[in-house]
Structure 1
Amino acid sequence: DALHQCRARPWGLNNCNHREDAGVVCSDSQLEITAKVRLVDGPHRCAGRLEVFQNNRWGTVCGNGWDMNDAIVVCRQLGCGIALSAPVQAHFGQGSDPIWMNRVSCIGTESSISECLSSSWGIQLCTHMDDAGVECSVLSEDTSTLRLVNGPHRCSGRVEVFHNQQWGTVCDDGWDMYDAMVVCRQLGCGEALSATTQASFGRGVDPIWLDRVACTGRENALTQCRARPWGVNGCTHQEDAGVVCSDKNITSEAAQIRLVNGPSRCAGRVEVLHGGQWGTVCDDGWNIQAATVVCRQLNCGGAESAPSGA
């Protein structure tokens, strides 16, 4: 699954020069489509004014009829996680290039905005005051290093971070709503409702990795916030921090499933919530098609395997 898992000489040991640098060409059938859409003038690459590439020139999209179904397609196309909002009226500033698309009407399942119904390209019935935007949650490498456990769903629970190949907790010294806001944003879990303290979701048993976390609330990942050095703290697990997020972007069905005991929130034993209690799934007939549904439901990308036998 990763290059560093392959056999090789120890790091840095070689008798090569840069004339021997290796490269790769992948088929990536989605690359050409994805490269024709971007979000600009936003706080990060997954939020901003929507622009599309046509006739060798970037242009904007009119906000007439622009809605969450359209934003869902853009977020999927850019690999940006969950659509949080579909702002209009130049929320991210006015563009200055052509207005390429108008009256876009996606159903939400398309893989590219070019597959959605719209008026003919380049017919301008708008001004740049109507430029459409998109705000998506950010799915990055950091997403797999953060999780919420022992809560009723994946968007509520004790905060745990992955460091040095081991999960650990966060001390509640200074833990507040700004910190919770970052956690909820990083996990694509909507708005922060509370920043819990005193091990309200149970005590962890692993290392206490972070202490004195001090986020401004604008960071995209908890690791971007100020904190004491990894593992340095004077805490006990009685002080484990937690978070409750609004979970407004997860469907009721998605909130009933989780992956546990794996290396990240997107790998592990499948558990479903029924009758107020979590339970497992038997592997009889379990296959990659079933895994594909689970990965889609949890916004975890493509399914890589469907292991059985516990």
Structure 2
Amino acid sequence: MGQDYCTHEVDAGVICSGFVKLVAGDGPCNGRVEVNSGTQQSTVCDGNFTLSTAKVICAELECGTAVSIMKGAHFGKGNGTIWDKEFQCNGSEPFLTQCPTVPIPGGKCSHSMDVGVICSRYTDFRLKDGRSNCEGRVEIQVLGTWRSLCDSHWDLADANVLCHQLHCGVAMKPPEDAHFGKGSVQIIGDTFYCTGIESHLWDCSVTVLGTSPCSKGKVASVVCSG
């Protein structure tokens, strides 16, 4: 037999993909949290489930950032087992498997407590080239890359939501009267359909068009009251 020269400095390791997924939503980036327990998918209890854990899940699934935790089986009750641990992520872990875990306090959970997560590909918003942070050209960070927003369907309700989101009051004038140039970043053609009462643009219905041509050739702008 050959002599074994292996030491702990060359211990093998592996990171497997597919540990976590979101199911029963309208796409891969929102839904009930399920993890692979080794033999089957298990739901996760909503007790002490944090936004930091949700952010790790969204990042791992390449779904941007977490915007909401949905408790009380919002996406329906699961049918399998329930994960018997509680994740304690700090938000910086690249994979959910790298988060510390502890047993569920009391060991009690039910499918009526299955947790869900809503992720957003929009990771940040800003107004550029205005006289303050509360006016300017609308730019959206999509999965870490800044884009200018096409104004083809940008209206006062959308503008009001963005002003509120940025803690800048309300929109002061119709968006078509605000012009701050095209900027130097690529234009994104996504269309928001806000009612005006939402807290964030990602709460509005949206049609994702990506970097399609901008039909009007002009980017969205807004002047907020500040």
TM-score normalised per structure 2 = 0.60
Q: Which has the higher contact order (CA 8 A, sep 6+)?
A: 2
SS class of match (1:69): helix
1:67 paired with 2:54, answer no
Measured against aligned partners, the alpha-carbon deviations of 1:27-81 in whole angstroms (never above 9, x if no partner) come to xx75x2x411101122331211100011231111111111112112212222222
SS class of match (1:119): strand
Q: Percent identity?
A: 31
- Contact 1:149/1:157, CA 8 A, preserved across alignment: yes
1:202 paired with 2:180, answer yes
> Could you tell me which amino acid in structure 1 is paired with residue 178 of structure 2?
S
Which of 112, 115, 140 in structure 1 is aligned with 2:98? 115
Distance in structure 1 (CA, Å) of the matches to 2:209 and 2:126: 11
Which of 137, 161, 166 in structure 1 is aligned with 2:120? 137
SS class of match (1:109): coil
Q: Which runs of 4+ in 1 moved over 3 A?
A: 146-149, 167-172, 177-182, 189-196, 203-206, 213-217, 229-233
Deviation at 1:109, TM superposition (A): 2.1
> Could you tell me which amino acid in structure 1 is paired with residue 175 of structure 2?
T
Judged with a 3 Å threshold, the aligned counterparts in structure 2 of structure 1 residues 181 and 61 are, in CA distance, closer, same or farther, namely farther
Judged with a 3 Å threshold, the aligned counterparts in structure 2 of structure 1 residues 137 and 169 are, in CA distance, closer, same or farther, namely closer
Which of 201, 221, 224 in structure 2 is aligned with 1:242? 221
| Corresponding residue for residue 219 of structure 1 | 206
Judged with a 3 Å threshold, the aligned counterparts in structure 2 of structure 1 residues 223 and 61 are, in CA distance, closer, same or farther, namely same
| Corresponding residue for residue 88 of structure 1 | 71
Deviation at 1:98, TM superposition (A): 0.6
Paired residue total? 186
SS class of match (2:102): coil
Measured against aligned partners, the alpha-carbon deviations of 1:141-182 in whole angstroms (never above 9, x if no partner) come to xx9xx99642556x9742479xxxxx987456x532666699
Distance in structure 2 (CA, Å) of the matches to 1:92 and 1:71: 15
More strand per residue: 1 or 2?
Answer: 2
Distance in structure 1 (CA, Å) of the matches to 2:182 and 2:38: 56
Unaligned residue ranges in structure 1 (runs of 5+):
1-28, 162-166, 246-310
Which of 103, 109, 118 in structure 2 is aligned with 1:126? 109
TM-score normalised per structure 1 = 0.46
Unaligned residue ranges in structure 2 (runs of 5+):
1-13, 141-146, 194-203
Provide the alpha-carbon RMSD of the alignment.
4.5
SS class of match (2:108): coil
| Corresponding residue for residue 271 of structure 1 | none
Judged with a 3 Å threshold, the aligned counterparts in structure 2 of structure 1 residues 99 and 181 are, in CA distance, closer, same or farther, namely farther
Judged with a 3 Å threshold, the aligned counterparts in structure 2 of structure 1 residues 137 and 101 are, in CA distance, closer, same or farther, namely farther
> Could you tell me which amino acid in structure 2 is paired with residue 202 of structure 1?
F
1:48 paired with 2:27, answer no
Judged with a 3 Å threshold, the aligned counterparts in structure 2 of structure 1 residues 74 and 170 are, in CA distance, closer, same or farther, namely closer
